[in-house]
Amino acid sequence: MITYYHIKSFLKEPLDFRLVNAFEEVADYKKHFKLPFNVLAFRLGNVEKGEMTKEKQDYILNCNTGEYFYRAFNQCCFIPYGLPVLIESRPYMVSYSLHFTLERYPGADIFRGCNQILTLDHLVTESQIRQIFYEENPLKARCLAEALICRICAEILPEQSDKDEEWRFADLLREVRRKIDARWNVEMLASKAHLSTGAFSREFSSHMEYTAKDFLQNELLHKAVILLQEPHATVQSVAEQLCFSSPFYFSKFFKRRYGIAPQEYIRRHNADPTLKA
């Protein structure tokens, strides 16, 4: 039985969920990533039939611990927010990925600081993933994706810390999320906080465990990803909306932070699905 007290208690818990991206791909690359969101990655089948040899198997290297996570068929793993990894992806398996954040306020993801790549095979089935990615109704597909992510998060929540509480600059960070473009810088944040740039930077880094500049770039990347998903988006139009001085500098920023060029991101986002069961 749920009492009125319990309902009142959990409704007060501040959590902001955002599904940032969802895609399927067969890719061949070896790249470093430190992404400002969490990743659920699924390996649900092989493109080339036959035995999976060690040479064909791809992996994720946890750059903080030096541990290798070798990936196999019908496997799900979780990469936490901001964890530096080296991913080698080989073109023998289909990859399905869901990118998301779950924050108490902008930048304060509940999985930030987690240091382990987790295996989640016991929480996810192949049929659940195929149901999401091959559902023709976009609204239903999104509901299925969000329901799956939230159920998984409930199982793997990290222990809370004092820094999970509302911070005095939380409203300023919400303003950044609403208004971010390439013109924002640390000096602007410090001015709005009525502090010197040095004092603000020190408090920010101490509380958030990364720099104010990183926060601004993460928010700018989030917004760029969303804009690039819009119909008829171009690199030039998004660069203009985000107030970059040129499409070249926007492309350079995006590729450095996301790992691929924005034009390639648009191509992948608009590609017709070809990996049907």
16-156: CATH topology? Jelly Rolls (2.60.120)
Q: Which of 237-245's residues contact partners 24+ apart within 8 Å by CB, and which partners? A: 238/262, 241/181, 242/181, 242/182, 243/181, 243/182, 243/183, 244/182, 245/182
The alpha carbon of 86 is separated from its chain's Cα centroid by a whole number of angstroms, namely 15
Query: What pLDDT digit, counting tens, does each position of 187-208 carry?
Result: 999 999 999 999 999 999 999 9
The gap from C-alpha 134 to its chain's centroid, in whole angstroms, comes to 21
Angle among Cα 7, 153, 165 to the nearest 5 degrees reads: 60
Q: What is the mean pLDDT of residues 116-132?
A: 92
Structure-token match 């030096």, residue found: 66
User: Which whole number is the average pLDDT over 247-268?
Assistant: 92
- Residue 201 CB-half CA count within 13 A: 10
> Is a pLDDT exceeding 90 seen at residue 129?
yes
User: Average model confidence (pLDDT) for the chain?
Assistant: 87
Show me where the domains of the chain are located: 16-156, 168-270
Residue 144 has pLDDT above 90, yes or no: yes
Model pLDDT, residue 4: 58
Greatest extent of the chain over all pairs of C-alpha atoms, in Å = 63
Q: Do domains 16-156 and 168-270 have the same CATH topology?
A: no
> Top-level CATH class of 168-270?
mainly alpha
Predicted pLDDT at 252 = 96
Supply the pTM of this predicted model: 0.81
Q: Quick check: helix, strand or coil at residue 37?
A: coil
Dist CA 255 CA 85 (whole Å): 16
Residue 164: HSE in the Cβ half-sphere, 13 Å Cα cutoff: 16
Amino acid at 111: F
Q: How does pLDDT run across 15-65, given as a tens digit for each residue?
A: 889 999 998 888 788 888 888 899 999 987 654 544 555 556 788 999 999
Map residue 213 onto helix, strand or coil. Answer: helix
**Beta carbons within 8 Å of 73's beta carbon, 6+ residues apart:** 43, 44, 45, 46, 52, 93
Token code pair at residue 197:
């740039």
Question: Which has more pLDDT, 8 or 19?
Answer: 19
**Rounded (10°) CA dihedral 152, 155, 160, 164:** 20
Q: How far apart are the first and last CA of the chain?
A: 43
Q: What average pLDDT does this structure show over 144-157?
A: 95
3-state DSSP of 118-177: EECCCCCCHHHHHHHHCCCCHHHHHHHHHHHHHHHHHHHCCCCCHHHCCCCCHHHHHHHH
pLDDT band at 273 (very low <50, low <70, confident <90, very high): very low
